[in-house]
Structure 1
Amino acid sequence: MGEYIGYYSYYECSCNDSSDSFNSSCECIAREVTQSGIDILFYILIWTLWFITITGNVLTLTVFVRDRQLRSKAANLLILNLSCADLLIGINSLTMTNLMRHFNGYWVFGEVLCKIHFILDYSASTQSAFAITLISADRLILVTTGAQYKKYQTANRAKLWITISWCVSVNLYFIPFLISDHIYGKWVNEYYGAYGMCDFGIVYEKWYKFCLIVVTFGIPLVLLMIFNSIVYHNVRKRALGQTRQHSCKVGTSQNHRSSDFKKHRKAAITLAVIVVAFLICWIPLWIKELVYYFVELGSDFWLFNTNAAAYLSWSNSALNPFIYCATNPRIRLGIATLLCCKSRRPQTHSRY
């Protein structure tokens, strides 16, 4: 795979060294360079990831729009929230990062779009962690309250959770990024005309990075461990109870307990799959962040010269729609209906 087998067009920019970065000028020339098979394969993979992420989450959102009963349940609203964050990652994070590769890493979309891109990128990624935590909290309420679940968890309460989580996610970055230029100067690396690096000085401050790691990774991770441990032990206790009662006479009460246990077990399995996928995709990126900002190995260290960890984290947004289909019959039927171009909606008797 080391031999060159294709060509790839990118833009090479050169800028004069003026003391006033705002009056400096840049010239970008389109060049064609040979690319190895590995480079071309990676290029295909990142755009395939972009396509799957957007298509999968658009289909999921369309199913929710078409199916009012899905939207009426608190648990499904939390899944809808996660899908919205995933779609935003596909539209903003993956799209802009992939396009930047065409310009050899230069940002050519202007200052306003840079700020919008950064705020949405960080906010959507943070919201993914918050959304997983909210889903875990909802499943915890389900398995601990049983038949009283709807009393404690309503659609309006889920909407309040979602609203608060988005307010926190956006404001963690909106205000700091807007004031970053005034405190640390305009664009960390000098910004030449229409070409430069889309970056902000505040993200390199250790105190700010530490706060972000605690709020967006540390706290959600601890909560996920606590919530899932309680859910696991609760479902396991119910399973042991089912085993002891297996030889008893089957009656209406027994059938109800059996149905209740199956519902709780399915909720726990759904939660476990979503959480495990989330941790596998996101932990490498956070390890990279911790190493870069606290071990100080230097920017030339091999771990920091690749976007592999970022793409792995974004791949979670492409994976989630498949998880929804595998664990939620109503969403699966709705997506199948859309793909088969059928006009009928999912049947209303499904409990999901």
Structure 2
Amino acid sequence: MMLVCHSVMNISCVESSRSHDVRVSLYSLMVIIILTTLVGNLIVIISISHFKQLHTPTNWLIHSMALVDFLLGCLVMPYSMVRSVEHCWYFGEIFCKIHTSTDIMLSSASIFHLSFISIDRYYAVCDPLRYKARMNIWVTFVMIFISWSVPALLAFGMIFMELNIKGAEEMYCKHIYCKGGCAVFFSKITGVLAFMISFYIPGSIMLCVYCRIYFIAKGQARSIKGTSQKLQTGLEERNGISQSKERKAATTLGIVLGVFLICWCPFFVCTIMDPFLNYTIPLALNEALIWFGYLNSTFNPMVYAFFYPWFRRALKIILFGKIFQKDSSRCKVFLDSNP
């Protein structure tokens, strides 16, 4: 017997036919992803908020991104989990729109933050003398404001004004829409628009910035290597730490770019292709790719925070309860001048 999500069978979505064991396995996996996302990003938020030494423009960007990823794990992933496993939506049509808008907003905001952090690192590595003048707290505030406001306007405006189905109303009503479901639907125009704003433009910025940092660091290393031994010794003493930071920044950005592309590229490619394929991509595949994209928010604190010694020191202070001691906010969690 076919199970349905709504009492009116002829307009109801079809419930998942997965076995009990498969559902338990999927729920367990998704709960692990949600908890890892929440814990990892919460530790980043607490660390940067609590320790005064971490109150820098770069870290406030990371703090804001961690907040976005934490909210994604808290407000979006649990409901997406039920939808993905059961293929039914039990929370009403209004909340479906709120959930879809929040999902698009927070996922896009996380990607925007990644793009702005790469720009910040570009100036820190490639123009360190003017970095503090260019990347002050007000510039950081503008970056954070854009990272939250543009995705919010795009997501809530598109979903609540139903612009996402504009131009494909007949297809949506006859072949996609069903009672008891909450599918994320894009027409050809909005699919391309979402692809460009949420993925292609931020991803291109990250790629260009990474390539620029890589070639500058490589050029500086070649320049030092080609200098005479006497001059080279002096340069090594003055530039050793700087060169090490350049390599570290290039490596970290490379990993960030790789994780970003691996997690989000499949979903956005399917998003832009599905309308041109008459929406033939299976629902199960689309749900799996959405969760693959969510993993970017799970990995963000690992890539951006666990790579830095200051985070490991802050984590140790938090885990051992030293954070509750008097003046713990003034503890030194990094040794050099740039966290």
TM-score tier after normalising by the smaller chain length: 0.7 to 0.9
Q: Is residue 67 of structure 1 aligned with residue 51 of structure 2? A: yes
Q: CA RMSD in A?
A: 3.2
CA distance in 2, matches of 1:32, 1:177: 29
- How is 1:279-290 mapped onto 2 (pairs within 5 angstroms)? 279-290=261-272
> Deviations for 1:279-334, whole angstroms, at most 9, x for unmatched residues?
111111112223312233x43x4575452211111111111222234321112211
> Which residue is equivalent to 2:295?
315
Partner Cα distance (1:255, 1:147) in 2: 18
Q: Check the 8 A contact 2:88/2:181 in 1, yes or no.
A: yes
Contact 2:256–2:303 (Cα < 8 Å) also in 1: yes
Report the alpha carbon displacement of residue 198 of structure 1 after superposing the two structures with TM. Answer: 2.6
- Which structure would you say has the larger RCO, counting Cα contacts within 8 Å and 6 or more residues apart? 2
Establish whether residue 347 from structure 1 lines up as the match of residue 332 from structure 2. Answer: yes
TM-score when scaled to structure 2? 0.83
Instruction: Provide the C-alpha distance between the structure 1 equivalents of 2:253 and 2:247, rounded to a whole number of angstroms.
Output: 10
Picking from 147, 152, 155, the partner of 2:137 is 155
Shift of 1:213: 0.9
Match of 2:309 among 320, 329, 332: 329
In structure 2, give the amino acid aligned to 1:328. Answer: Y
Name the CA shift for 1:263/1:205 in 2 (closer, same or farther; >3 Å): same
Cα offset for 1:166?
1.4
Shift of 1:66: 0.6
Distance 1:242 1:250 in 2: 6
Question: 1:1-352 alignment to 2 at 5 Å?
Answer: 13-16=5-8, 34-36=19-21, 38-71=22-55, 73-101=56-84, 104-180=86-162, 189-191=177-179, 196-199=180-183, 203-245=185-227, 247-248=229-230, 255-296=237-278, 298-299=279-280, 301-302=281-282, 305=285, 307-343=287-323, 344=328, 346-347=331-332, 349-350=335-336, 351-352=338-339
- Greater Cα shift, 213-222 or 241-250: 241-250
The alignment partner of 1:173 has SS state of helix
Which has the larger displacement, 163-172 or 283-292? 283-292
Conserved? CA contact 2:213–2:250, under 8 Å: yes
Letter in 2 for 1:44: S
Relative to structure 1, is the Cα distance of residues 304 and 246 closer, same or farther in structure 2, using a 3 angstrom cutoff? Answer: farther
1:12 and 1:160, CA in 2 relative to 1: closer, same or farther beyond 3 A? same
1:33 to 1:263, Cα distance in 2 relative to 1, 3 A: closer
Greater percentage in strand: 1
Kindly provide the amino acid, as one letter, of the partner of residue 230 in structure 2. Answer: C
Percent of aligned positions that are identical: 23
Is the 2:260–2:296 contact (alpha carbons within 8 Å) kept by the matching residues of 1?
yes
Moved over 4 A (4+): 31-34, 181-188, 249-254, 301-306
- Counterpart of 1:150, as a letter, is K
Distance 1:34 1:199, change over 3 A: closer
Cα separation, 2, equivalents of 1:47 and 1:92: 13
Q: Return closer, same or farther for 1:13/1:263 CA change in 2, 3 Å cut-off.
A: closer
More off after superposition, 108-117 vs 158-167: 108-117
TM-score (normalizing by structure 1): 0.81
Bigger proportion of residues as helix:
2
Contact kept? 1:136, 1:228, Cα under 8 Å: yes
**Contact 1:123-1:173 at 8 Å conserved across structures:** yes
Give 1:243 shift.
Answer: 2.3
The runs of 5 or more residues in structure 2 that have no matched partner are: none
Three-state SS of the structure 1 residue aligned to 2:161 is helix
Contact preservation (8 Å) 2:224, 2:235: no
Which range is displaced more, 119-128 or 91-100? 91-100
Check whether the contact 1:325–1:331 (CA below 8 A) recurs between aligned residues. Answer: yes
Amino acid at match of 2:147: S
Counterpart of 1:197 in 2: which secondary structure? coil
Structure 1 alignment gaps of length 5 or more: 1-10
What displacement does 1:178 show?
1.7
| Kept after mapping to 1: 8 A contact 2:225/2:232 | no
Deviation at 1:13, TM superposition (A): 3.7
